[in-house]
Structure 1
Amino acid sequence: MRGRALIAAAVMVAGAVAATPATGAEAATVNRTVLSDGFSGAGGDRPDGDVWTLADGRRGIAVLDGDGRLALGSALRTTKTFPQQYGRAEARIQGRRTDGAWRALGVLDAQGGVPAGSLETLGPDRVDGDDFHTYAVDWTPTTLTWSLDGRAVLRFTRAAKGEPLMFVLNMASGGYYSNGMLVDWVTVRTPVQVDAAKWKAYTAYKPGQLVEYKKVIYRVREAHTSLPGWQPDLVPALFAKA
């Protein structure tokens, strides 16, 4: 109700206040989702063939469990490569591992092989199979950094700078195979440059317009003329984080 009242007030104020159209857009960085899979579907179905393929090309175990998870008994990789120079891949995984976060959410080169480079251990990454854990890979042209539940555990220095990458879900651990694993979701995001206007009061905003406030990018939900106190982080009826 509060959001509706604010929108109604914006319409009335627009006729009484000399509104300045939003101008002076500047380049800003936002994260764009280029892969997102929550593995919804009927139990026994295969994962989306446009997104995933068996890494070794042979028959394997990779099926949806019907509860929004992927039951995996073999390595599964993305069908496409990611040529972006910077990005972050994340996966929520349940499975016992003696070591090797870089295997649970692994990285392959454009030919499907293991990239050349050197690996540095930053911290322990042993997990049991009782709970889900969040694995992440942050990549740059020169490095890949793995984290486990927000804790950096491995850093890989790439021999071939900036080459395209593929991602692989892999149950192998320390030279051995576990009894399988469940994958809750996978996302891949990459930063992109967009034009965003700086937010200010007494300014007319249009639906879909990007606005920057305190280094956060918002998308305008409704046409309105802003007033003091209507900052994007305070009025979710008018602004949504982009």
Structure 2
Amino acid sequence: MRGRVLAAAVLMLVAATMTGNGAAAEAATVTRTVLSDGFTGARGDRPADDVWAVSGGRGSFAVLDGEGRLALNAVLRTEKTFSQAYGRAEARIQAWRVDGAWRALGVLDENGRVPAGSLETLASDQVDGDDFHTYAIDWTPTTLTWSLDGRKVLRFTRAEKGTPLTVVLNMASGGYYSNGMLVDWVTVRTRVEVDAPKWKAFTDYEPGKLVEYKKVVYKVREAHTSLPGWQPDLVPALFAKV
């Protein structure tokens, strides 16, 4: 009888381990979209004031064109600051100045000043002002790297490590023809750590929960009990990559 009780206890312990109910979550890095603006709205509307702060002198403007774009000849900066250590700001822009990637899509510190540091040219940032181009800034605690249509063009080494940043469009405003632009969209994504237990077979998963598999984080789509062969990368109906 005592042997049967001990065997039952062992089976219960194994079952609890397999369901993952007591599994400790592990920190995993995921990318989150913290700002996404496609500038939809009626012609003549201003950009969302809970997202953007607009400033500029006489004759400056920042209005929607009614076709999903922003016509801009002012300084437009994000209301929020981004203090995450790693991130990426990206925008599709048609600018009427053929160089100056850091001017079309730039950054300021939390006090509205240009961050201290040194700028290095990696490649030409001249563009055709008649077309849209994709500008991006990838930042780390120590550097900011600008790319233009996928080409790295500028690298900025920060004098102060990891200070919060705001994203700016048309940072060096100076007249419609010298620095006006159309902006199709802007996104800002940051890397953050989340607690996600590793995926295991014979585990009950609820919708919305996070799970890690092969260093990739997934969100559970539907409630289910996992079986061998139901790994997140093989069953997209049950798991969505975060």
Same fold (TM over 0.5): yes
Residue 237 of structure 1: aligned partner: 237
| C-alpha distance in 2 between matches for 1:156 and 1:26 | 33
Kindly indicate whether the alpha-carbon contact (under 8 Å) linking 2:73 and 2:173 is maintained by their aligned counterparts in 1.
no
Look up the equivalent residue of 1:99 and give its one-letter code. D
Kindly indicate whether the alpha-carbon contact (under 8 Å) linking 1:96 and 1:127 is maintained by their aligned counterparts in 2.
no
Provide the C-alpha distance between the structure 1 equivalents of 2:171 and 2:192, rounded to a whole number of angstroms: 32
Which protein shows a greater Rg? Answer: 2
RMSD: 2.4
Which position in structure 2 is the counterpart of 1:138?
138
The aligned counterpart of 2:24 is 24
SS at match of 1:178: helix
Find the counterpart in structure 2 of residue 122 from structure 1.
122
**2:94 corresponds to which letter in structure 1?**
Q
AA aligned opposite 2:121: T
Decide whether the 8 Å contact of 1:172 with 1:178 is kept in 2: no
* Paired AA for residue 156 in structure 2: F
Query: What residue in structure 1 maps to residue 206 of structure 2?
Result: 206
Q: Is the 8 A contact 2:74 2:173 kept in 1?
A: no
* Alignment match, 2:94: 94
Where does residue 170 of structure 1 map in the other structure?
A: 170
TM-score (norm 1): 0.84
Distance 2:175 2:201 in 1: 60
How far the C-alpha of 1:201 sits from its partner, in A, is: 2.6
Indicate the residue corresponding to 1:147 in structure 2. Answer: 147
Contact map agreement 2:106 2:171 (CA 8 A) in 1: no
Structure 1: which amino acid aligns with 2:138? D
Q: Secondary structure at the match of 2:31?
A: strand
Return the offset for 1:60.
Answer: 2.4
CA positional deviation for 1:63:
0.8
Post-superposition Cα deviations, 1:154-199, rounded to whole Å, max 9, x if no partner, equal 0011122222211110175999953622111111122111111222
Aligned partner letter, 2:233: D
Q: Do the aligned partners of residues 141 and 228 (structure 1) sit closer, same or farther apart at CA in structure 2, a change above 3 Å counting?
A: same
SS of residue in 1 equivalent to 2:102: helix
CA distance in 1, matches of 2:175, 2:44: 28
Moved over 6 A (4+): 173-176
TM-score, length basis structure 2:
0.84
Q: Could you say what secondary structure the match of 1:157 adopts?
A: strand
AA partner of residue 189 (structure 1) = R
Preserved contact between residue 96 and residue 177 of structure 2 (Cα < 8 Å): no
Give the whole-Å Cα distance in 1 for the aligned partners of 2:173 and 2:55.
16
- Residue 200 of structure 1 deviates from its aligned partner by 2.9
Could you tell me which runs of 5 or more consecutive residues in structure 2 were left unpaired when the two chains were aligned. 1-14
Aligned residues: 225
> Identity over the aligned pairs, expressed in percent?
78
Q: Secondary structure at the match of 1:136?
A: strand
